[in-house]
Copies of this chain bind each other. A is one copy, B any other.
């Protein structure tokens, strides 16, 4: 049944794509020429979907189809194809706020669960760039702008509450992918699960996390926050594998995990992948710069990202003059009102920071002890070596979850990174740090 979401649905192969696009003349016009002139390449490297890049004499297109199962796992793990609808709906909803920071979406096929969008070229996935030691200095600020605009303008701070309620009515149905987040991020890494893929030398770390009642209590708070704090429309999977870059441009792709949830979730996820890149870097290329210099870039980027997010979010809010229910202007008029409104804004952003750190830590742990591992670590082929930066990342994440009061600002986060660099394979050694 899942193989046939509807009578018309069929799984596209690279050979089918030109004929498919020929059936959409308005869109295929962007390719120029005739179907015979088009080349099509299967580039799926994500976990879930088919992705084809098509080139014609006049330009390129990207064709993404949701499969009725998880691509990397195969047909044994069925997955609702309507995730393509949610990715499309998310893209439509945030386009006015993020502009060129997301690819242009040209078409959605509701029967085939296909999105046709702008082909990003010569953009590459940020994660690969990081692993290769290529630094992209625009990324932190571009992604900060993206998250600040999306999380402000889809919240109750920037609109009558009916606007977010309409998003909830739609995205509350995106449960198939949220089930993945709930299980793989917040639950499996702290339990014995056959889905977990643990680097063998990390077995002691995994066992200590499974036994760590304080850590699991902190994760319970994080999971409940994820499930109940309905602040804004989120991307839901905003890591370095969902960002495509050139030196001049940044694009956020792959919004199929979209949900109305805690704004700190996207923020924390993005930072988590910079942290993991920082720990992995000594085992990678570092390009033209030394490892130390590249790490300094990454640490500086984390600070830049948060500072820019905070500044942009506050400036959207301060400049907002429309009707909104979050902080009604009528309650905060006059100089005293303006001063208090500013206090409330800063308190709101401080809450986002705390949430972001909590989610950052959960995202690090799930990438080390859970199902969906990341290339930053996997490219280190020797498990005995790979376990070292992974252990450091775990030790750092645990510290943030257990001792949040030590991490009061973004400077404290980057200052802490080197402290866990040599955490090692015995989880007890750094337990109180």
Contact present for B332 and A161 (CB under 8 Å): no
Closest to A169 in B: B172
Contacts A182-B161, A220-B344; is A166 near B172 (CB within 8 Å)?
yes
A168 at the interface (CB under 8 A from B): yes
Complex: how many Å from CA A220 to CA B331? 9
Contact present for A340 and B217 (CB under 8 Å): yes
A246 at the interface (CB under 8 A from B): no
Q: Which residues of B contact A160 (CB under 8 A)?
A: 179
Contact present for B175 and A337 (CB under 8 Å): no
A156 at the interface (CB under 8 A from B): yes
Closest to A331 in B: B216
Contact present for B190 and A162 (CB under 8 Å): no
Interface-facing stretch out of A7-15, A102-110, A322-330? A322-330
A281 at the interface (CB under 8 A from B): no
Q: Which residues of B contact A182 (CB under 8 A)?
A: 161, 325
A213 at the interface (CB under 8 A from B): yes
A207 at the interface (CB under 8 A from B): no
Q: Which residues of B contact A204 (CB under 8 A)?
A: none
A224 at the interface (CB under 8 A from B): yes
Contact present for B191 and A224 (CB under 8 Å): no
Interface string of A270-289 (1 = CB under 8 A from B): 00000000000000000000
Q: Which residues of B contact A190 (CB under 8 A)?
A: 331
A379 at the interface (CB under 8 A from B): no
Contact present for A326 and B223 (CB under 8 Å): yes
A219 at the interface (CB under 8 A from B): yes
Contact present for B161 and A175 (CB under 8 Å): yes
Q: Which residues of B contact A328 (CB under 8 A)?
A: 187, 191
A336 at the interface (CB under 8 A from B): yes
Q: How far is the CB of A313 from chain B (nearest CB, A)?
A: 15
A227 at the interface (CB under 8 A from B): yes
Q: How far is the CB of A189 from chain B (nearest CB, A)?
A: 10
Q: How far is the CB of A278 from chain B (nearest CB, A)?
A: 29
Contact present for B213 and A336 (CB under 8 Å): yes
Closest to A168 in B: B172
Q: How far is the CB of A213 from chain B (nearest CB, A)?
A: 5
Interface string of A138-175 (1 = CB under 8 A from B): 00000000000000000010001110111011101101
Complex: how many Å from CA A336 to CA B215? 13
CB proximity to B under 8 Å, residues A330-366? 330-332, 336-337, 340, 343-344
Complex: how many Å from CA A337 to CA B231? 31
Closest to A156 in B: B227
CB proximity to B under 8 Å, residues A298-338? 325-328, 330-332, 336-337
Complex: how many Å from CA A187 to CA B175? 34
11 cross-chain CB contacts under 8 A: A156-B227, A160-B179, A161-B178, A168-B169, A168-B172, A169-B170, A187-B330, A213-B332, A213-B336, A223-B326, A228-B231
Binding site for B on A (CB under 8 A): 156, 160-162, 164-166, 168-170, 172-173, 175, 178-179, 182, 186-187, 190-191, 213, 216-217, 219-220, 223-224, 227-231, 325-328, 330-332, 336-337, 340, 343-344
The 3 closest A-B pairs by CB, nearest first: A168-B172, A169-B172, A216-B331
